[in-house]
Structure 1
């Protein structure tokens, strides 16, 4: 079935559903489409207000991203039950009748993309939404060398989280300007990356960056990276971006985070020859023995805190404080994931 045939079928089915009488405010008139994915058949629906819906079957545990909640489009997770089945769906609805024609084109794109990615129709949905949103994106200023290295370090940690949970991008708060780069309820990770070949001297921004969450734990992940040539041994920056997008279950949400971090796909040509090799990696527990200035520590010492915009450098060049062994780093990552469930 080509796109034109699919478009005709969708319009025909929606028209038929709209002709049926509504049976209740919380009920949908639904019809299945001859478009199957691994989790079932895609469907169309009309609600009691006459709004049109497209339904993509998903597993019961699958999350649906937040943030798309009107006034034009609304995306939610919805369970539907009939006499024989109980199925969860990703439900995309158009809340304006005057935009039904545009919603038709969007849904045809969604259905065609889901047919091409039957193992993950929701990811196909996000790809289509992102392409439509891209029409309105503006091009940003390319990242500088230190900004690229810093983002590469955060993507390295994000990659490890996404390998354990495809929804782990929700833990990435760095692009939002939060004090910690990754955060669950009581656990956080701050990432510092340097291109310097000497010392371990991360720059700390603010008196709260080395403060753990309330009753929680903070780790500092420190990376030394070297910029290598296009033919050198290392990881291309574009490959790091492509890998987290591949692992993530919501490309659109992750692209928004990348944009807030300063990366825009339109600028990818500027980074095509950027490649980093990780020369050193160390993880630390930020506890009472870790060097740093924090509001809590100064207050506990009786020092009044009335200064703003504090930045300072700490020196981790020696063997103290001790670094976390790899097994404890793995447990920290697992704990972050578990707290996000």
Structure 2
């Protein structure tokens, strides 16, 4: 079996992702140290591509699209190609799938279309849909965390901010820095009211400080913002750091993101109504850290109202992220 492509090849292509919708960044496929006419590529959405030379004209066989796997015939300046593509969330399946096709064409000498058709049939079960729809509550919360990454943490810290994003690991707070934790609360209400879902969620970590970011969204069919727009904006900010970009996409997949969502109709559409950034200090509305529920009470939820609480600005928040001495 050939050893191309690898994780490193896809990671290198992420740094070269084009801006134009119809463009591809490509790398020639090597088999046993020899460069072939096949290539792998990546488009501006991060989709993975394999290009296999074929005869011009109608394909000799019809190969249907499978879940998250698209098969097309494409004409480029270099000639006619079979183009296979899959979203980045399916890299672990697409990589060995590509290796099998490359091996069949380059090592076994098989014709492109019959080799592809046989490989698709063999891998058909691997492409069956297994992803449940992302519920609205998850979309709303994830949207808010991406907003904080986009406008606060990446501008303040650069690509290393991705490593501080702990929301996908279901930690107490959504972002964990050396000197600071950040909790993000996102609501579709027209009022800055947020539900606190665990007793220690607003506890200030020992030796650190805590910020709460409140985000208010308006859900509307005419909304210009979705999870996809926030995702793409963060990807653009991370484009020059392949490690951070890989880490970011891994975390997105872990919370249920799939590129299928772009065309599935399940994406919610928003307008950003308002936001506020608040240091959690003695005047912040919360249960005292000394509070202990009665025996037998194992969970507690309560709602906080931030309407009359003074907020800090984004520039000040960026400075607070970059320093260790505040509040």
TM-score range, shorter chain: 0.5 to 0.7
Offset at residue 221 of structure 1 (A): 0.4
Offset at residue 134 of structure 1 (A): 4.5
Offset at residue 209 of structure 1 (A): 0.6
Offset at residue 172 of structure 1 (A): 0.6
Offset at residue 111 of structure 1 (A): 9.5
- Given the superposition, is the C-alpha separation of residues 127 and 268 from structure 1 closer, same or farther in structure 2, using an over 3 Å criterion? closer
Which of 212, 216, 221 is the equivalent residue of 2:208?
216
| Other-structure match for 1:255 | 249
- Range 321-330 or range 146-155, more displaced: 321-330
| Other-structure match for 1:237 | 227
Q: Does 2:280 match 1:286?
A: yes
In the TM superposition, what whole-angstrom CA distance separates every residue of 1:74-125 from its partner, at most 9, and x where no partner exists? Answer: xxxxxxxxxxxxxxxxxxxxxxxxxxx443443894598389569x9xxx99
| Other-structure match for 1:333 | 321
TM-score w.r.t. the length of structure 2 is 0.58
Offset at residue 252 of structure 1 (A): 2.6
- Given the superposition, is the C-alpha separation of residues 115 and 208 from structure 1 closer, same or farther in structure 2, using an over 3 Å criterion? closer
Offset at residue 272 of structure 1 (A): 7.2
Contact kept, 8 Å, 1:220 with 1:283, in 2: the verdict is yes
- Given the superposition, is the C-alpha separation of residues 329 and 107 from structure 1 closer, same or farther in structure 2, using an over 3 Å criterion? closer
In the TM superposition, what whole-angstrom CA distance separates every residue of 1:294-336 from its partner, at most 9, and x where no partner exists? Answer: 5x3326xxx878742222111223x2x3212343222133348
- Given the superposition, is the C-alpha separation of residues 183 and 264 from structure 1 closer, same or farther in structure 2, using an over 3 Å criterion? same
User: What does residue range 1-341 of structure 1 map to in structure 2 within 5 Å?
Assistant: 101-106=1-6, 109=9, 113=13, 116=16, 132-135=91-94, 139-160=130-151, 161-163=153-155, 164-197=157-190, 199-230=191-222, 232=223, 234-248=224-238, 249=241, 250-270=244-264, 274-294=268-288, 296-298=289-291, 307-317=297-307, 319=308, 321-335=309-323
Offset at residue 170 of structure 1 (A): 0.7
| Other-structure match for 1:65 | none
Offset at residue 291 of structure 1 (A): 1.4
- Given the superposition, is the C-alpha separation of residues 103 and 324 from structure 1 closer, same or farther in structure 2, using an over 3 Å criterion? same
DSSP 3-state at the match of 2:230: helix
* Structure 1: distance between partners of 2:7 and 2:186: 42
- Range 105-114 or range 250-259, more displaced: 105-114
Contact kept, 8 Å, 1:173 with 1:181, in 2: the verdict is yes
Contact kept, 8 Å, 1:237 with 1:276, in 2: the verdict is no
Offset at residue 216 of structure 1 (A): 1.0
- Given the superposition, is the C-alpha separation of residues 109 and 256 from structure 1 closer, same or farther in structure 2, using an over 3 Å criterion? closer
Contact kept, 8 Å, 2:164 with 2:177, in 1: the verdict is yes
DSSP 3-state at the match of 1:202: strand
- Given the superposition, is the C-alpha separation of residues 185 and 277 from structure 1 closer, same or farther in structure 2, using an over 3 Å criterion? same
- Aligned CA-pair RMSD: 3.7
Contact kept, 8 Å, 2:219 with 2:269, in 1: the verdict is yes
* Structure 1: distance between partners of 2:257 and 2:11: 29
Provide structure 2 residue ranges, at least 5 long, that are not aligned to the other structure.
Answer: 19-24, 26-40, 49-87, 95-125
* Structure 2: distance between partners of 1:283 and 1:108: 39
